[in-house]
Amino acid sequence: MVLRSESGPGPIGATSLAALLGDWRGSDRGGLARSLAERIRLLALDGRIPSGTRLPSERELCDRLGLSRTTVASAYARLRELGFARSLRGSGTQVRLPVPRLHEPVPGGHEIDLSRATLPALPWLAETAREAAEDLPSWLHTDGYDPIGLPEVRAALARRYAERGLPTDPEQILVTLGAQHAIALLARTLLGRGDRAVIESPTYPHAFEALRLAGARLVPVPVGGAADADATETGEVEAFEQAFRRASPAAAFLMPDFQNPTGRSLSLEARERILSAARREGTVVVADETTAELDIDRGFVAPPLAAQGNAVLIGSAGKTLWGGLRVGWIRADRELIARLAQARTVGDLGTPILEQLLLARLLPRTAEALELRRGQLRAGRELLTGLLAERVPGWRVPPTPGGIATWVDLGAPLSSRLALAARSRGLVVPAGPRFGIDGAYEGRLRLPLCGDPDELRAAVGILAESWDDLPGVEALARPDARAGII
């Protein structure tokens, strides 16, 4: 749950805050007030409570949580001391994010950030960028504003779709400022305030944030998570069909390949059933394919979702080529592309020319890039799973045949407490509920398969130390401790 409005963050009610807090009691050995403050601090750090949000009054929150007024007042006071809240006359207590101090000391010497699952730049990117810069003069006579995409870029993307089994015309492509921009643009074009939108849960947090900003009412469908993959997919497809039938949503957003964060991929049969159910209700299906080609050893090559039925596709250079290359794209029918281009002018004036020229030179080497990524992700997967088995053997790491991350089962609802404890040691890692619609997944942790090996070793060390220090972890060592845990 992320609380925002189009005009900025507003107040959060005591009931909504209680839902976000989850099982917070006893999360800090310093007592209830400190535990409450630390959980609110985590919610602010990972964006579930945006900076500027007004917290419930002390009286409202103590009534909702069954606490004394003194406990809530002490928690708010601690937030102010830490720089995560301020009191405004007549406006109560407002969440804020402290401005980081230059050269602020971090435990261990520097901060390790696992909140972004990204791969390093391609080895040939720098040289290709120099070559792309030589192409720039031919565009300097123009105004430089490009809301659709350069013809050669759209043609190259169309060829790439054709290579993957989906014939595409360049007129079916709109080049964007990355996948996140594409999601937001589609959300505000396809959805009106109050429209229902189906979305996977858990999922990429910025996807459901974009849908909420567009005014959509979310209809979550649980995905992944069970040991029996066939049973999981059958139940998932039936849940999609039921959601379409009951809600008649205007749109559905999903990741059919190497879903973020669960890593699951849908079979061809499952894709066909989901598209058929959407078609019966007139629902526009939007597939985020930013991780679709990051296969390690899945065993089959899936065509783009639109090859099996009507679907709008989102792609990005960020995961396969480099995160610093902020270029993405949308593939849709010509009519929707025209609507998107018109709607886009409200928010931006186009994708930078130089970055598009760089993408145009990189796309012909996509196969080479994917082969490199496959080796990097395989090495990262083996390193991470080995480290976790050694340092925290009680955690369960699911099979991960591709994608950028693994969705670890902690065996206990301690993800938020672990994320806070790790942050105090210089490790930034998102808690499981960051990927849920309503604060679920306290028993999960998303860990990237990519990154510097030395940093990954250090990160797992910090996680293990933080885990061992959490109150109640000792009891998990009992043979029956995991019984009944989902």
**pLDDT tens track for 375-385:** 999 999 999 99
Q: Residue 478 has what pLDDT?
A: 47
Comparing 165 with 224, the larger pLDDT belongs to: 165
| Cα separation values, 5 from 49, 217, 344, Å | 12, 13, 20
- Residue type, position 348, single letter: D
Judge whether 429 and 187 are in contact, CB under 8 Å.
Answer: no
Cα separation, 401 vs 294, in Å, equals 9
Q: Which residues lie closer than 8 Å to 267 by C-beta, 6 or more apart?
A: 233
Domain annotation covers residue 8:
no
Judge whether 388 and 395 are in contact, CB under 8 Å.
Answer: yes
| 276 and 422 fall within a common domain | no
Whether residue 256 is predicted with pLDDT greater than 90 in this model: the reply is yes
Domain annotation covers residue 105:
no
| 237 and 272 fall within a common domain | yes
Output the six-digit token pair for 373.
């990524």
| 341 and 402 fall within a common domain | no
Write down which residue in 365, 386, 412 finishes a domain.
Answer: 365
Judge whether 224 and 201 are in contact, CB under 8 Å.
Answer: no
pTM for this predicted structure = 0.84
Judge whether 175 and 329 are in contact, CB under 8 Å.
Answer: yes
**End-to-end Cα, the chain, rounded Å:** 21
| 168 and 310 fall within a common domain | yes
| 407 and 336 fall within a common domain | no
Judge whether 36 and 71 are in contact, CB under 8 Å.
Answer: yes
Write down which residue in 365, 398, 417 finishes a domain.
Answer: 365
- Mean pLDDT, residues 376-403 taken together: 95
Q: Residue 28 has what pLDDT?
A: 61
Domain annotation covers residue 3:
no
User: Residue 385 is part of a domain; what is its CATH number?
Assistant: 3.90.1150.10
Residue carrying the six token digits 């919610």: 43
| H or E element at residue 112 | strand 112-113
DSSP code at position 215:
T
Q: Residue 23 has what pLDDT?
A: 77
User: Residue 314 is part of a domain; what is its CATH number?
Assistant: 3.40.640.10
Domain annotation covers residue 259:
yes
User: Residue 22 is part of a domain; what is its CATH number?
Assistant: 1.10.10.10
Distance of CA 324 to the CA centre of its chain: 17
| 342 and 396 fall within a common domain | no
Q: Residue 483 has what pLDDT?
A: 43
Say what percent of the chain tops pLDDT 90: 58
Strands 312-316 and 328-331: antiparallel
Cite the DSSP H helix spans in 408-451.
415-423
Name the domain count of the chain: 3
Least confident of 20-34, 320-334, 368-382, 399-413: 20-34
52: three-class secondary structure by DSSP:
coil
Mean pLDDT of the chain: 87
Cα separation, 392 vs 409, in Å, equals 11
Domain annotation covers residue 100:
no
Domain annotation covers residue 431:
yes
Domain annotation covers residue 7:
no
Whether residue 486 is predicted with pLDDT greater than 50 in this model: the reply is no
* Cβ neighbours of 245 (radius 10 Å): 11
| 344 and 418 fall within a common domain | no
Cα separation, 247 vs 244, in Å, equals 6
**In which band, very low, low, confident or very high, does the pLDDT at 294 lie, cut at 50, 70 and 90?**
very high
Domain annotation covers residue 104:
no
| 406 and 320 fall within a common domain | no
Whether residue 235 is predicted with pLDDT greater than 60 in this model: the reply is yes
- Mean pLDDT, residues 47-66 taken together: 87
Output the six-digit token pair for 173.
């492509």
| 189 and 331 fall within a common domain | yes
Sheet holding 251-254, edge to edge: 173-176, 328-331, 312-316, 284-288, 251-254, 196-201, 217-222
Whether residue 231 is predicted with pLDDT greater than 70 in this model: the reply is no
| 70 and 176 fall within a common domain | no
**pLDDT, tens digit, for every residue of 356-370?**
999 999 999 999 999
- Mean pLDDT, residues 66-93 taken together: 86
Cα separation, 247 vs 271, in Å, equals 19
**pLDDT, tens digit, for every residue of 147-173?**
999 999 999 999 999 999 999 999 999
| 153 and 296 fall within a common domain | yes
Judge whether 173 and 194 are in contact, CB under 8 Å.
Answer: no
Cα separation, 418 vs 427, in Å, equals 10
Q: Residue 55: give the domain boundaries.
A: 14-95
105: three-class secondary structure by DSSP:
coil
**pLDDT, tens digit, for every residue of 177-223?**
999 999 999 999 999 999 999 999 999 988 988 998 889 999 999 98
- Exposed, middle or buried, 478 (CB in 10 Å: 0-12/13-18/19+)? exposed
- Mean pLDDT, residues 126-145 taken together: 92
| H or E element at residue 237 | helix 229-247
**In which band, very low, low, confident or very high, does the pLDDT at 44 lie, cut at 50, 70 and 90?**
confident
236: three-class secondary structure by DSSP:
helix
**pLDDT, tens digit, for every residue of 404-428?**
999 999 999 999 889 988 988 999 9
**In which band, very low, low, confident or very high, does the pLDDT at 485 lie, cut at 50, 70 and 90?**
very low
Q: Residue 479 has what pLDDT?
A: 45
**In which band, very low, low, confident or very high, does the pLDDT at 108 lie, cut at 50, 70 and 90?**
low
Q: Residue 93 has what pLDDT?
A: 87
State yes or no: cis peptide before 261, omega within 30 of 0. Answer: yes
| 419 and 313 fall within a common domain | no
Say what percent of the chain tops pLDDT 70: 90
Write down which residue in 365, 387, 419 finishes a domain.
Answer: 365
Judge whether 49 and 12 are in contact, CB under 8 Å.
Answer: yes
Alpha carbon dihedral 286, 374, 262, 420, in 10-degree steps, equals: -120
Q: Residue 99 has what pLDDT?
A: 63
Whether residue 102 is predicted with pLDDT greater than 60 in this model: the reply is no
- Mean pLDDT, residues 340-368 taken together: 92
- Mean pLDDT, residues 247-262 taken together: 94
